[in-house]
Amino acid sequence: MRKRKYTERIHASRLLKMLEKKNPCLCCPAAVDFNGSECPKELWKDTTNPCDICMNFVGASNFFKRCPCHNFGQKQAIKTTWIALEEKGYI
């Protein structure tokens, strides 16, 4: 399997698909089938950690490397994600 580099653009695209799920919180846009219990780093090329891209995307880079749902709570994480998608021009 050829690995691609996980970028903000890929993250945004996968976020939009993930947010279509009935309960997207604690899912992971970088993981296979959005499985939040999997470590997505192994799936992507480069040393870029998908978690870093995710945390920077929602402005939580000063938090521990945890899902935004843990950092903000479910409702606020979803809201913050939608705002980031809008501000960055992905929707």
Task: List, for residues 7-18, the tens digit of each pLDDT value.
Answer: 999 999 999 999
Examine residue 32 and state whether it is found in any structural domain, yes or no.
yes
Examine residue 1 and state whether it is found in any structural domain, yes or no.
no
CB atoms under 10 Å from CB of 50, counted, come to 21
Provide the greatest CA pair distance for the chain: 36
Q: Nearest to residue 59, comparing CAs of 50, 68, 46, 70?
A: 68
Within 1-91, where are the H helices?
A: 8-18, 50-57, 68-72, 74-87
Q: What is the pLDDT of residues 29-47, one digit of tens each?
A: 999 899 988 878 778 877 6
Give the residue numbers spanning the domain of 60. Answer: 8-87
What is the pLDDT at residue 90?
Answer: 96
What is the number of domains present in the chain?
1
Tokens for 26?
A: 């604690």
Examine residue 3 and state whether it is found in any structural domain, yes or no.
no
What is the pLDDT at residue 2?
Answer: 57
Residue 87: which residues within 8 A CB-CB, separation 6 or more? Answer: none
Taking CB atoms within 8 Å and a gap of at least 24, the contacts of 71-74 are 74/25
